[in-house]
């Protein structure tokens, strides 16, 4: 009986600690996702403006435009 009460007490303390730290976990996760999205965007822009020739950029723009046009 005493072991069972102690077990549930430990579980309750663990749940309380998890709930108290959940906001920090969610905040850090969202911050990491935003950082990765910004980093990916910067890498794509560097690739787009420094590695593609102007003809390749025109082709990519035309492909996006035709995909958008054919979608509707």
Q: Residue with structure tokens 């420094």?
A: 50
Give the list of residues 6+ apart from residue 57 with CB closer than 8 angstroms, or none.
48
pTM: 0.57
- With 0-12 / 13-18 / 19 or more C-beta atoms within 10 angstroms meaning exposed / middle / buried, residue 3 is exposed
- Residue 51's pLDDT is 87
Any idea what DSSP says for residue 47?
I
- Residue 47's pLDDT is 87
Per-residue pLDDT of the chain (72 residues; tens, 9 = 90+): 888 999 999 999 999 988 888 888 888 999 999 999 999 999 999 988 888 888 888 988 899 899 888 876
Any idea what DSSP says for residue 48?
I
CB 60 within 8 A of CB 52: yes
């Amino acid at each position: 009986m005493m072991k069972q009460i102690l077990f549930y007490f430990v579980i309750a303390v663990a749940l309380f600690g998890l709930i108290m730290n959940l906001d920090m976990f969610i905040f850090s996760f969202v911050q990491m996702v935003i950082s990765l999205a910004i980093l990916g965007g910067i890498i794509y822009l560097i690739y787009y403006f420094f590695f593609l020739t102007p003809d390749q950029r025109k082709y990519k723009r035309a492909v996006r435009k035709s995909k958008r046009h054919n979608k509707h």
